Amino acid sequence: MADDPNNDMAPGLYETPLTEELQARVERTGLEATSKPIPAERRDAALSGSVQRTLREHLSALPEAPRKAVYTTNEILRQIAGPSAQLVTDSRGDPLELQSLTDGRPRYATRPLTPLNESTLITNARRDESLAQALNLELATADRVDLLCAFVKWSGIQSIMDTLAMLHEQGVPVRLLTTTYMGATDATAIHRLADELGFQVKVNYNTGTTRLHAKSWMIYRNSGFHTAFIGSSNLSHAAMVDGLEWNFRVSAVNEPALFSKLGTAFDTYWDDPKFEPYLPDRDDERLATSLKQAVAQPGRHFDAAFLDIQPQPHQRIMLDDLAHERQQDFHRNLVVAATGTGKTVLAALDYLRLCGDKPGSLSLLFVAHRKEILEQARSTYAHMLNDANFGELLVGGEHPTEHRHVFASVQSLSRMNLDALDPTAFDVMVIDEFHHAEAATYRRILDHFQPRELLGLTATPERADGVNVASFFGDRIASELRLWDALDGDLLAPFHYFVQWDDTDLRGVKASGGEYQAGELSRLYTDNDGRSRLVLAAMRHRILDPTRMKALAFCVSVEHAHYMADVLSQAGVPSVALSGQSCREIREAAIRDLREGRLACLCTVDLFNEGIDIPSIDTVIMLRPTQSATIFLQQLGRGLRRAPGKSVLTVLDFVGHQREDFSFEPRLRALTGQGRKQLVDSVEKGFSELPAGCEIQFDKMSQKEVLKNVKRQLATTTLRLVDEFANYARRSASPTEYSLRRFLAESGLTLGSILAGPSSAASRWR
């Protein structure tokens, strides 16, 4: 190649119209060049593309004056088409673009994020549009839809269910081509798509000779602005929301030949006799049988990985954080870790590290408030130390004999004469669920014992009463892994959080300390068949088969738990009520029945909030209002643990008219990590920055109520503004981490609005 610093042409393949300037550049390279006439079928596209590129370069070089760009464009159009030129209209220099034609119905009220005449790539990346989000916007304006995918999962349908239901209501035809490949399809999902949403479905049962790997959505619009998605995503939760997927969004305006080819290919498959029409009821048994036959039978093998337990990456970081704090001579340490990320395992690993090369050499006191928590903790430590006899229980009538490694309930310790016990008897002391530590029973224990190392564990350091749990540790948190970080790190099952309107009026219910009085609330809920019907309707809408779910329903009272268990059971969803009044045998039997599928739901009150692990829980139903972030996260956390076969946790949270002093903000902040300004935007426009795989959806009425509620937090008195800043300061790890500037950014307030008075601050949201 000739040494020409001004020549940017490299050896390789080209495909561009040859201009005089380009010919001169080619000659200067000294390389052998080939050229030939442009084929007739590509001539128009190639030449118009050349004009388009030149015009784009020219317009981008113009000064920032839209009128000049419109004038230049129209001059070129006149040169090309003469008197018949279709000139661009403008408004004060800005070119106008036709957006929609409507007959008055809200049919075309929303638009896709990507313009209809552009193409783009959807990857499900964080802080980017997921395929489910894109489809919800695209399908909303469809006049006809064709879907081609190898398998269909209910978890994928859930993400776009409301939009599909809207299409059915408006009579929009949808055709679906799918297969029984690998037995991956949910038969019930196919039935519901065909029976309830009117899909025309064809199934290829013979996957041995014809294997469908193509995945495509084709969205037709009467306006001619069709779009399509082609890529790797089947109709499943992972593919639609959080999988590492590539889906190319094609514009029919931009790529008419490609779009036409897609339509022809789909019609060819649709007419192929290998794809057989599916009719609900008639073909249900055949589909179910074919799917079962397609499932490969996995071979059995012995997995010895559990014999050598190593810290997971996030636990290794937290262990190193603890080691660093101790090097700085801090021997009282608080660890904040989201439920399901292994706090007890972390404590056991930390104990092993402290013991060094002599496992079990340090004395240990592990304190919790439930026997089930203590039994699980003892089992975890024994597992880690590979010593089935490790530890003794001090709870429920059981007493230690060696007093060396004790797992004690706070109630049992509080009944003892602590003054008779050596304060230095234990080298290591672990307090589980440390947010309870302000209680007098905990304080007695903390004030008496003087271990070499104290470790506090909690998932929820924020208390509803404003007490700063970290104050006991000098306002330090040794290591922290919040819910949103754990979800980002793929440590927990993603959640689909649906906020459902139940039309209950709570504005007259008495409240104390920000929480509704349980007795009055219970009477209101147990005498409300209308609310129960709405709960059942929401379950039917959001859950593939409520009779097969593994759910926890959190109720207000024992009476409410029994009422809801009866309601669900009568509706065909086998359920039982459990509370602190239930004996241990009944609780254990109910948990076993839930795990093994004989029960679908446990209706409970203040029993499974913390410490009890049932990883297979795939549904959480919140039937009691709370503004406590602690209670909310504890209940949510019951379903966030990963388990085989569980791709997502479904959460149904029922809300009605709330008192003015009730606040949704704490739970939304705990769920998302967002400040108030972000929350207002997210509730109003959608939560676009959630961890991969997570969704938060409001129905119309609940969105209105929650948005009004969050905005109302700014319509406050001077006293509430002072309290707001005080609470913000408590949430910060140390005084150096909070400032007025950061408070204003998080709260959505401005300094001017505060100085002008609370009423001015409130007016921003009215």
Q: pLDDT tens digits, residue range 516-553? A: 888 999 999 998 899 999 999 999 999 989 999 999 99
In angstroms, the CA 455 to CA 459 distance is: 13
Q: How confident is the model at residue 304 (pLDDT cuts 50, 70, 90)?
A: very low
Using CA of residue 348, residue 351, residue 357, residue 360, what is the dihedral sign? negative
Residue-wise pLDDT for 137-148, tens only, equals: 999 999 999 999
In angstroms, the CA 399 to CA 350 distance is: 25
In angstroms, the CA 639 to CA 668 distance is: 17
CATH fold, domain 492-713, is Rossmann fold (3.40.50)
pLDDT of 721 higher than 60 = no
Alpha carbon of 418 to those of 363, 431, 443, 658, 672: distances in Å? 17, 17, 12, 46, 42
In angstroms, the CA 187 to CA 196 distance is: 14
Q: How confident is the model at residue 611 (pLDDT cuts 50, 70, 90)?
A: low
Q: Parallel, antiparallel, or unpaired: how do β-strands 392-394 and 405-409 relate?
A: parallel
Per-chain mean pLDDT for the chain: 83
pLDDT (0 to 100) of residue 616? 92
Of 225-229, 328-332, 530-534, 636-640, the range with the lowest mean pLDDT is 636-640
pLDDT of 621 higher than 90 = yes
Q: How confident is the model at residue 427 (pLDDT cuts 50, 70, 90)?
A: very high
pLDDT (0 to 100) of residue 165? 93
Residue-wise pLDDT for 435-489, tens only, equals: 777 678 888 888 999 999 999 998 877 665 555 677 788 888 999 998 888 888 7
Q: Parallel, antiparallel, or unpaired: how do β-strands 247-251 and 495-505 relate?
A: unpaired
In angstroms, the CA 39 to CA 43 distance is: 6
Residue-wise pLDDT for 394-413, tens only, equals: 998 899 999 999 999 998 99
Q: Assign residue 397 a region: left if phi > 0, alpha if psi is -120 to 50, beta otherwise?
A: left
What is the mean predicted confidence (pLDDT) over 644-655? 91
pLDDT (0 to 100) of residue 208? 57
pLDDT (0 to 100) of residue 251? 92
Helix count (H) and strand count (E) of the chain?
A: 27, 26
Alpha carbon of 181 to those of 175, 209, 246, 271: distances in Å? 19, 11, 21, 20
pLDDT (0 to 100) of residue 75? 79
* Gyration radius (Cα) of the chain, Å: 32
Q: How confident is the model at residue 175 (pLDDT cuts 50, 70, 90)?
A: very high
pLDDT (0 to 100) of residue 55? 77
Global pTM reads 0.73
- In the chain, ranges of CATH 3.40.50.300 domains: 308-481, 492-713
- Phi and psi (nearest 5°) for 470? -70, -10
Cβ(761)–Cβ(749) under 8 Å? yes
Report which residue type is found at 763: S
Decide which of 3.30.750.24, 3.40.50.11540, 3.90.550.10, 3.40.50.300 is the CATH code for 308-481.
3.40.50.300
pLDDT (0 to 100) of residue 687? 86
- In the chain, ranges of CATH 3.30.870.10 domains: 111-294
Residues 6+ apart with CB under 8 A from 53: none
Residue-wise pLDDT for 215-257, tens only, equals: 899 999 988 999 999 988 878 777 777 677 888 999 998 888 8
pLDDT (0 to 100) of residue 680? 87
Residue-wise pLDDT for 306-319, tens only, equals: 344 668 888 989 99
Class of domain 111-294: alpha beta
Place of tokens 């009520």: 577
pLDDT (0 to 100) of residue 51? 79
pLDDT (0 to 100) of residue 645? 79
pLDDT of 85 higher than 80 = no
In angstroms, the CA 543 to CA 261 distance is: 37
Cβ(720)–Cβ(687) under 8 Å? no
